[in-house]
Each structure stands twice: as C-alpha cells, then as structure tokens.
Amino acid sequence: MTMRYRIRHETLYAYADRVDLAAHMLHLSPRMLPGQQVFDASITAEPRPSRMSWGLDHFGNQVCWLFLDHPHERFSVTVQAEVAVGFAPPPVAELTLPWEQVVAIAAAGGAAFQASEFSYASPMAPADAGAGAYAAASLPAGRPILQAVLDLCGRINREFAFRPGVTTVNTSVADVLAGRAGVCQDFTHLMIAGLRAHGLPARYVSGYLRTKPPPGQAPRRGADQSHAWVGCWLGPEHGWVDLDPTNNLVVGDEHVVLAWGRDYGDISPVRGVILGGGAHTVTVGVDLAPT
C-alpha cells in the first residue's frame, strides 16, 4: 500500500547573544528510495543564507549546507515536502538466512562491502558488551535473521519504557540498558549496538512517523517529532528491512525516511557551528499529514 504525506519540519534557534557567523549542515531532505517518492521538497531559511550548497553525503543522503555571514539572533529552517511511501513487505522470516551466515557474509566484504560498513562500532553505537549480551537472547544458533531481529525489536519495545526526558543524546547505550527507559534514539542505538556486537550490520534511520495513527489504532509513540529506527541487513538477497523498536513496527507506509547513517552523529538533522550566540533554545515542530 502506498500513502501520500505532506511534511513540514521547522527548526528554530533563538540565541541569547548575537551570532556573527554560522555554518549549518542539514540532513532534512527525504531520501529518494524504491519505496519512497519525493515531490516538491524545499528548504527555506531565515535569515537568508549567503551561501547554500547541496550534495550527497557518504551514505548517499541529501545534504544541504547553509552559511550565514550576517549577524543574527534567530535562525529558522523549514523543510516542506510531499512524499509517497509504501515499502515492500518483508520476506518470510523463516526463509531468511541463519544470522551467523549474515555475519560471515558481512565480515568477508567484497560484493557486500557496503553493508559491512554498518557492522562495526561507531561513536554513538559502540561495541557495548551489555548490549551484545542483551541481544544474544534473540540470537540462538541457526535462527533466521529476520526472526531474530523481529524478536529483538519486540523485546526492546516491551522491556523498555518510552519516557521522554530521562535521557539525552549523550546518554550511553550502557546507561539506557541499565535504566530500561528512553526515547526512540536510545532504543535505536541500543538495538544497533546489540546487533553489531554480534557482527550483524545495522544502521540508524532518521525520519518521521505519521502524526495520526490509522483509524482504530492506538496513537504511535514519537509522532510529531523527528523519529528514528533501525535498518537491519538480512543478507544479499533481501537486503535491508527497517524495524521501529519504539512502536514494534515493520516500516511500511507510516514512516518517511530522511536519511541513514551509522548512528545519530552521522545524520543529525541540523548541525552547525556558530560564532557567538551564547545560550540558545531550539524549537522543533514536525507535521506529517496524509494528503
């Protein structure tokens, strides 16, 4: 099934002191994908940047760089886009490769080298022994990979409380594991770290979740915000399938993909370096409505 959404994502920085010079790197443009078509994507910034440049990052995500040369006290950037999504359903879980075989293929590199990249530790999803031990319960010998990752996704969803405010971006995977609570980023980093601890490729996917659930269903957790979930690699035949541990969902037609990377640090939506500014506040507003 394909759904069509209108996205509006606004980020507003308000600075205590004047900012003399600013450079920002945006990962805010939805990615073009086999299951995702993007129409009319636009980025507007206020004040007007003195330079904007576009390109693809290492992972093939759309990046926009903004440079502001004039003093300013506020900076806002708004993305508007229309997107049609309908990702192919996942393969039959029982028929996917035993997870150990996926590990071996990834480690060997060669044709699968692009997936291999996601099997190594990264700064925010480090090789954490605790996460590895937690994930091990979902990885008995010979288990088909998709069964394993679905099981892990479900366990995180059941065993961790969704509680905004108890964690920050600096909270480590180990702390999330100990506290058994967090938000989508924490669950995503935890699941990625757990899979990578066993040599399985897993990637961090950022994007949005539709604001209103389909009729008759419970409200989704993490709507109206930037959302994040896990891309799991099932081997060369089936490639990547996205799982949302926050809502225990297989990504189908309720999610819009912005970008992916090894962890949040690779694809932070609005990253910048400013000269001056002092303390600042950020307000983020996301709206994802079916059209």
151 or 224: CB nearest other proteins: 224
Binding mask 38-77 for other proteins (x = CB under 8 A): ------------xx-x-xxxxxx--x-x-x-x--------
Q: What gap in Å lies between CA 129 and CA 119, rounded to an integer?
A: 15
Q: Please, which residue, 95 or 108, has the CB nearer to other proteins?
A: 108
At its nearest, how many Å lie between other proteins and the CB of residue 262? 8
List the x/- string, 180-199, binding to other proteins by CB under 8 A: ---xxx--------------
Q: Hey, which residues does 46 pair with through a beta bridge?
A: 76
Residue 236 within binding range of other proteins, rule CB under 8 A: no
Q: How far apart are the first and last CA of the chain?
A: 15
CA 288 to each of CA 57, 84, 205, 211: distance values in angstroms, whole numbers, following the listed order: 25, 12, 17, 6
Instruction: Say whether residue 170 binds other proteins (CB under 8 A).
Output: yes
The order of strands in the sheet holding 227-233 is 249-250, 240-244, 227-233, 202-209, 255-261
Q: Contact between 13 and other proteins (CB under 8 A)?
A: yes
Q: Which of 33, 92, 95, 108 binds other proteins (CB under 8 A)?
A: 108
Candidate list 111, 215, 217, 219; residue touching other proteins; CB under 8 A: 111
Write down the least CB distance from residue 267 to other proteins, Å. 11
Does 176 interact with other proteins (rule: CB under 8 A)? Answer: no
Among 27, 16, 96, 69, smallest CA distance to 260 is for 27
Query: Comparing C-alpha atoms, which of 171, 164, 166, 208 is closest to residue 193?
Result: 171
Q: For strand 161-162 and strand 181-182, is the pairing parallel, antiparallel, or unpaired?
A: parallel
Gyration radius of the chain's alpha carbons: 19
| Tokens representing residue 182 in the block | 């967090």
Q: Which stretch binds other proteins (CB under 8 A): 130-138, 141-149, 172-180, 277-285?
A: 277-285
Sites of contact with other proteins (CB under 8 A) = 13, 17, 20-21, 23-25, 50-51, 53, 55-60, 63, 65, 67, 69, 106-111, 113, 116-117, 119-121, 164-165, 168-170, 183-185, 221-228, 246, 264-266, 268-277, 280-284
